[in-house]
Amino acid sequence: MLDIRVARLGALALFSVVAEPAGLRAKPADSIEKIATLHIARAAHTATTLGSGKVLIVGGMASGGGSLDDVELFDPARNMLQRVGSLANGRAGHTATLLGDGRVLIAGGYDGEYLQTVEIFDPATNVFKPGGSLLETRSEHTATLLPDGRILIVGGVGRGWTFLRSAEMYDPATGRSTSVGSMSSPREGHTATRLADGRVLVIGGHSGRRPNVTVYASAEIFDPRTGRFEATGSMGTPRHKHDAIRLDDGRVLVIAGADRSDRVHFATTEIYTPGPATFEPGPEMRHRRYKIARTSVLLPGGNVLVTSGARTAELFDVGAGAFREIPGSMPDGYRFAAATLLRDGDVLISGGYSDRNETTNGVWRYRRESPKR
């Protein structure tokens, strides 16, 4: 079970090489630095980049437990935060989905009880309004925007600490959710990634309470045309609390995670190729990481930034097929943080909690180029 519950909550190129002295070798221009402080420390929150370029930071788990209804808006032009309104329900472990019309859908979560309600943020007014309800209470589910504007809600944990295999389709045009086919296995701590053809790949996760936890290597694909899930290839390593990102070439990079004990954390990756529906080993990272869902970001140009779960972020260079560390570090390897791509190609990283279960109010910015001093 997630810590939210525990806390309550062929051509040859000819070229010449000129050796440079070691001290003159080019260093990476990108870096991470702390640039702001949240008004309230939080973890298991969401961060969504709006059409204006500002970032909506919603809810989360507070220091000492409890779910927040507090909402903040980050202005990347000034690196400043302001508080804007509040949720009707405090929420942690919810999802936030940017809709086609610019509004943001907040679904489910946990506030001492598992939530079924939906709220919608309108950036024109900075106000949340009721958005109907899900068919089931759920937290730590996934929410995937489909090409037709509907949102696929998958798995998670529901009332009575029940691990869910069910899925539903929420239509923001009507404010209603309808049932679709169920997965073969209940899943929490999984990922859901929309493929280039509009299908959704659900990977890994777990079900059951300790000591009877099952962690999955299996994956399933949801097809919106049939409304059903089908089995696809399996990973080489069962994992949960990982992350997954679709690369520009259509493959999916599966990143890190943990085993059933949560004591063995992975630096390994795997790559899913949709055509043959197979997983193959990917490049290994420098650091082990887990509890990192939705904190890896596809950058302009196709590289992937892995931001949380260790003190140092790493960049997957698709051309080189390898990871490298990003200059700059954080005080801790924060987990259940949030990360989002900014319109200028930078990345905003916020919140999370440490090995000591202390939430942070830190906000960091990944810059593609070092700022001029």
The continuous run of DSSP H or E covering 5 comes out as helix 3-6
The answer, yes or no, to whether residue 39 has pLDDT greater than 90, is: yes
* Tens of pLDDT, residues 185-199: 999 999 999 999 999
281 cis-preceded (ω within 30 degrees of 0): no
The continuous run of DSSP H or E covering 4 comes out as helix 3-6
Tokens 């529901």 sit on residue: 158
The answer, yes or no, to whether residue 136 has pLDDT greater than 90, is: yes
* Tens of pLDDT, residues 141-187: 999 999 999 999 999 999 999 999 999 999 999 999 999 999 999 99
Residue 13 pLDDT: 30
Tokens of 316: 């997957």
* Tens of pLDDT, residues 253-278: 999 999 999 999 999 999 999 999 99
User: How is 27-48 classified by DSSP, letter by letter?
Assistant: PPS-EEEEEEE-SS--BS-EEE
Residue 369 pLDDT: 77
User: How is 286-343 classified by DSSP, letter by letter?
Assistant: SS-B-S-TT-EEEPTTS-EEE-SSSSS-EEEETTTTEEEEPS---SS--BS-EEEE-T
Residue 370 pLDDT: 56
Fold for 30-350, please state it.
Answer: Neuraminidase (2.120.10)
Bridge-based pairing of strands 347-350 and 269-273 is unpaired
Q: Which residues of 254-274 are buried (b: 16+ CB within 10 A; e: fewer)?
A: bbbbbbbebeebbbbbbbbeb
**Average pLDDT rounded to a whole number, residues 238-249:** 98
The answer, yes or no, to whether residue 112 has pLDDT greater than 80, is: yes
* Least confident segment among 12-21, 67-76, 355-364: 12-21
Question: What is the chain's Cα-based Rg?
Answer: 20
Helix (H, G, I), strand (E, B) or coil at 6: helix
The answer, yes or no, to whether residue 9 has pLDDT greater than 60, is: no
The model's confidence at residue 290, banded by pLDDT at 50, 70 and 90, is: very high
